[in-house]
Amino acid sequence: MLAITCPGQGSQTPGFLSPWLELAGVRDHLEQLSERAGVDLVRHGTVSDEETIKDTAVAQPLIVAAGLVTARLLLEDFLLTAATVVAGHSVGELTASAVAGALTEDDAVAFVRVRANAMAEAAAETATGMSAVLGGDPEDVAARLAEFGLTAANMNGGGQVVAAGTTEQLASLAENPPAKARVIALKVAGAFHTRHMTPAVTALEALRPSLSPSAPVATLISNYDGRPIVQGQQNLDSLIAQVSRPVRWDLCMESMQQMGISGMIELSPAGTLTGLARRGMRGTASLPVKSPEDLDAAAAFIEEHSRTPDLDPSLIPEGSK
């Protein structure tokens, strides 16, 4: 059984889209997405430096666009059904929603445009950020985060928690890490998935009437609780709320294992989620699609892992049964 996953902010690297532009149709696709997103995705994906693409207003549309480009190339001849699981981490859930048919590509890009700008504005109000906490006893990690008033914004499984809060709170954590844990500052511009992003929720609620959500054709699982999304409006509710509440990728991985996933593929800019899967989904094959050179292997991987056992009916969206 196959899972298609879509990475979130922080997965982008300078120039990562350059090799994709050598393929027919990709430049036109990216230029169309750029117009809708209000961002020059071709430039930012090829020549912009690390500091430029770290900007939330740039990073989020860039990551979603990369996933949409990869998905179009990779899934052109593949029919998505409820037997395929789709999931995204943080902003990657927008990519996943488009891949699964719960949002049109136009709506996904319109959403990420508002999301990125609103989250950038919210991040500018207070100096905030995020740090990965690797290892340590889970109870000790939770206690230390609570001690400094930090939020566990991402529960990534495999002994990785991402703490979010003010720069002062994160500095205190770095100086006083939990026992047997490492604290690594992340290259993001704010405390995403916390109360600091509440203004972005308001901006996205204002966008809601212009969107046309649909029931997903694939099994789309929420990164809030790892459960399948049944209705388009349910997915939209979750996408809006997501910006100020924690991401539970650990629960997504648990659900994928319970569903019998044998292979997980990660769309560009790939690597982060397959890395987490190696620790949190042991025994499950994974393949990151990092460049066009990976497309042939990815097509074979999809064919191999699309031969699936029967799903537990309770895990399949009603609209897809």
What's residue 313's pLDDT? 52
Give 47-51's long-range contacts (Cβ < 8 A, gap of 24+).
Answer: 47/15, 48/14, 49/14, 50/13, 50/14, 50/187
Closest CA to 271 of 17, 64, 59, 7: 7
pLDDT (tens digit per residue) in 179-188 = 999 999 987 8
What's residue 78's pLDDT? 87
pLDDT (tens digit per residue) in 36-93 = 999 999 999 999 999 999 899 999 999 999 999 999 999 988 888 889 999 999 999 9
Other Cβ atoms less than 10 A from the Cβ of 188: the count is 23
pLDDT (tens digit per residue) in 263-311 = 999 999 999 999 999 988 999 999 999 999 999 999 999 999 986 555 5
Q: How many angstroms separate the first and last alpha carbons of the chain? A: 17
What's residue 137's pLDDT? 93
- Domains of the chain (ranges; CATH) run 2-124+194-320 (3.40.366.10), 127-185 (3.30.70.250)
pLDDT at 317 over 90: no
Strands (E), the chain: 2-6, 84-88, 128-135, 151-157, 160-166, 181-185, 219-220, 263-266, 285-288
Question: Binning pLDDT at 50, 70 and 90, where does residue 156 land?
Answer: very high
Average pLDDT, rounded, for the chain? 93
Give strand pairing partners of 182. 134
What's residue 307's pLDDT? 67
What's residue 314's pLDDT? 56
Residue pair 61/113 in contact (Cβ under 8 Å)? The answer is: yes
Task: Name, in order, each residue with C-beta under 8 angstroms of 234's C-beta and a sequence gap of 6 or more.
Answer: none
53 vs 137: CA distance, rounded Å:
34
Structure-block tokens of residue 305: 């892992």
pLDDT at 321 over 80: no
**Phi-psi group of 122: left, alpha or beta (phi > 0 → left; psi -120 to 50 → alpha; rest → beta):** alpha
pLDDT at 234 over 90: yes
Closest CA to 289 of 88, 21, 67: 67
What's residue 120's pLDDT? 93
What's residue 320's pLDDT? 42
62 vs 42: CA distance, rounded Å:
9
Residues known to be catalytic: 90, 193
